[in-house]
Chain A
Amino acid sequence: MKDLGAIAVFVLLVGLIPFCTDSGVTLNFVMTALYACLLSQAWNVLGGFGGQFSFGHALFFGTGAYAQAIVQMQWGLNPWLALPLAMVFSAVVGALVGGASFRYGLKGSYFALVTLACAEVFRIVAVTVPFTGAGVGLMLPLRESAASMQFGSRAGFVWLMLGLVALALLVTSWLKHSRFGAYLQAVRDNEDAARAIGVNPFRVKLAATVVSAALMGAGGAFYVQVFQYIDPGIAFGPHTSVEALVGAIVGGLGTLWGPVLGAVCLHILADLTRNLFGALPGINMVIYGSVLILIVMLLPSGVAGLGRYNPLRRKSTKVPPE
């Protein structure tokens, strides 16, 4: 299939980067760009393909991060075993939150807000209970080696994250071409019609939430391995939730490469602006915010929708908000 080929090429090209350069700056950039891709891809599964916008995806991120830390530090497991476990924990949380939300028929903004609230509840709980370290957070002890998933050079992390991004790409590709994916998109486009043709919207949306959560949890686990510190604010705060959805929307909802493109573009933008006018802090973020607005203004279907963008049609598409 065309998509699988493209994914393979992507993996190959990015995988070769650590062989072509020793530059810490480049490798760190690639690593964090891939990390942003994973977050956006995870969000896209539920948001883009499922049409359920979550404002609290940090919920799954934080669960994965804490799980990775706790499983290693308190259960003594190897981090390579902890990673899939972290994804499982996130998936379970996804099932619970998704299950409750969809069982009660939450849609649209209501669903978005309930995920936001759940993330905040988890944050407050994490600040309170001792096994998360409460407000102090958890620090992963420094143990540099491939076996303990703390690579000396960023290259190791680049490949690890590339693997996860490839997984997410494969999952997204499967969503594009499989029957399940078709059901999911049908539910997204018109839930009642989908039900009428025999699709079970609840089960479909729940499954999408579980998958989305698992991928997001992988991102959280990865974060802990790289930065070795997690606290309730980093884990469940709005920063990560926003990062996930921004990349997906800017890139193009419900597409295979959209989240990747969006995350990478925004990452480049953030990096370029960070040290512009370094002596006057804040200008960089003003530029970032303005460019974000401009991107939305000029590319309403996202970066991936560039191919579909027809400047001649702009005048007539001035449709007011639904």
Chain B
Amino acid sequence: MHSTRRHFMGQSAAAASALAFPLVGGAQPATIKIGVLHPVTGALAYSGQQCRLGALMALEDINKAGGIKSLGGAKLEALLGDAQSNPQAGTAEIEKMNEAGVSAVVGAFASAICLATTQAAAKYNLPHVVDVGVADQIVERGLKNTFRFGPGYKKCAEVAVANLHVLNTAAGKPARTVMIVHEESLFGTGTANLLSRELPGYGYDVKEVIKHANPTRDFNNIALRIKQVNPDILIPANYYNEYALLVRTLQQQKVTPKAIFSVLGGAASSYKFVKEFPDAANGIIDCNHWFNPKDKRSAELRKRVEAQGQFFSYEVFMSYTAMKLLADAIDRAKSTDRAAIIEALGKSTFSDHIMPYGPTQFVNGQNMGAQPLMTQVSKGDIKVIIPRDYREAEPVFPMKA
């Protein structure tokens, strides 16, 4: 984190010195201001800071590679904002960024904050690239300025259910009963609702849906219930802390379902979790945001992030690619005018990225190519198992016969 800050300062200095040299063509600005808005304090501080890390690394890379070529190599300059883990602060920051003359905003991680910030930005026709925010309402309100590169939770739930069926069928249908454990707020409840609706259609029996608070101090009760219901498959959908505590408790209570199959599982595809609890994590399957493992640049980016002492979590690469998407659009717009950038984003076919989305195609602000990947923890590492195009390891399903 610290070196990012120093590096960013270095970039700013370079950008400032570029001001001394007028560009050919005259009317272009020497730096292009981009708002980088995340909840870096408050309850979501960890995720917000990881997002900011990804965004700033992308900015650094773009500038190092020569900036925005169609604007004479103009560099991107980040205007950092703190959404303080609530929509009010996020909105206030959008106002500030707007007045500081940003050409676009990347942010704001949490769905509730994104709902407010995209709307505030829409008043000024300010392009807003949503880096994570999985609630589908964000892109369903007809706001022309909002673009989400990654998938929403509806897509994640659909992919998860379909792939669960594929895995189960390929293994001879050993699993039929399912239990869902989800956190009580927007993403957990929304995901659980979708799963409960879709699963029976594929022939699965949803025996129980358990909702828990954030934070939950103790999972022994839930572990007991899981032991009692004894589902074939356990589907958790919650944030990192609760996911980790749940899985550790299951390990301690020796509760072993045939498979732990997460959908947007907070710790299920987290290098941090795998490193700290390799035994508990082993075999867990997740349907979550993931990078393209076949693209060498992913591994390089991962190494760089880890060299800074941070984990290569989904917030980092989601934000990184969101920034890259934006830079590509600015380049094609050949202008820092907001309306031009929005138009360029809308027509974007950006494909030079490390996500498994293929060429970009936005419909009503949602990238149609966006998809989550299925990963599984094996031998202390996280490997992609589905779809086949990105497969790194054969899926092991079920974990226990």
* Chain A interface residues (CB < 8 Å from chain B): 23-25, 28-29, 32, 127, 134-137, 139, 141-142, 152-153, 227-229, 231-234, 239, 271, 274-275, 278-282, 284-285
Chain B residues within 8 Å of A, Cβ to Cβ: 5, 8-9, 40-41, 45, 48-49, 80-82, 84, 86-89, 91-93, 95-96, 98-99, 112, 115-116, 119, 123-124, 137, 141-143, 183-186, 188-190, 193, 211, 213
Specify which chain B residues have a CB less than 8 angstroms from the CB of A232 in the assembled complex.
185
Assess A135 versus B185: contact at CB under 8 Å? Given A227-B91, A239-B86, A281-B45: yes
Contact A275 B81 (CB under 8 A): yes
Q: B41 is contacted by which of A32, A142, A153, A284 (Cβ under 8 Å)?
A: A284
Do B99 and A25 touch (CB < 8 A)?
yes
**B112 interface neighbour in A29, A32, A152, A231, Cβ under 8 Å:** A231
B116 touches A135 (CB 8 A): no
Contacts of A136 in B (CB 8 A): 185-186, 189-190, 193
Excluding A139-B115, A153-B123, 7 further A-B contacts by CB distance (< 8 Å) are A28-B95, A134-B189, A227-B88, A228-B115, A274-B82, A274-B92, A281-B40
* Docked complex Cα distance between A178 and B210 (Å): 54
Residues of chain A contacted by B186 (CB below 8 angstroms): 135-137, 231
Quote the shortest CB–CB distance from B62 to chain A (angstroms).
19
Q: With A24-B99, A24-B124, A285-B41 given, is the CB distance from A278 to B189 under 8 Å?
A: no
CB A95 to nearest CB in B, in angstroms, measures 29
**Are A142 and B81 closer than 8 Å at their CB atoms?**
no
The number of residue pairs between A and B whose CB atoms lie closer than 8 Å in the complex comes to 98
Q: Which residues of B contact A141 (CB under 8 A)?
A: 141
Give the distance in Å from the alpha carbon of A188 to the alpha carbon of B186 in the complex: 42
Q: Point out the residues of chain A lying under 8 angstroms from B183, CB to CB.
A: 135
Q: Is the CB of A25 within 8 A of B96?
A: yes
A283 to chain B, nearest CB (A): 9
Residues of B contacting A239 with CB < 8 Å?
86
Chain B hits for A278, CB < 8 A: 80-82
Docked complex Cα distance between A24 and B87 (Å): 16
The complex places the Cα of A53 from the Cα of B169 at a distance, in Å, of 61
Find chain B residues with CB under 8 A from A234 CB.
86-87, 112
CA distance A228 to B122 in the complex (A): 14
Give 24 pairs: A residue, B residue, CB < 8 Å, sorted on A.
Answer: A23-B99, A24-B123, A25-B98, A32-B92, A127-B213, A135-B188, A137-B185, A142-B119, A142-B141, A152-B123, A229-B116, A231-B185, A232-B185, A233-B185, A234-B112, A274-B92, A274-B93, A275-B82, A279-B5, A281-B41, A281-B49, A282-B41, A284-B41, A285-B41
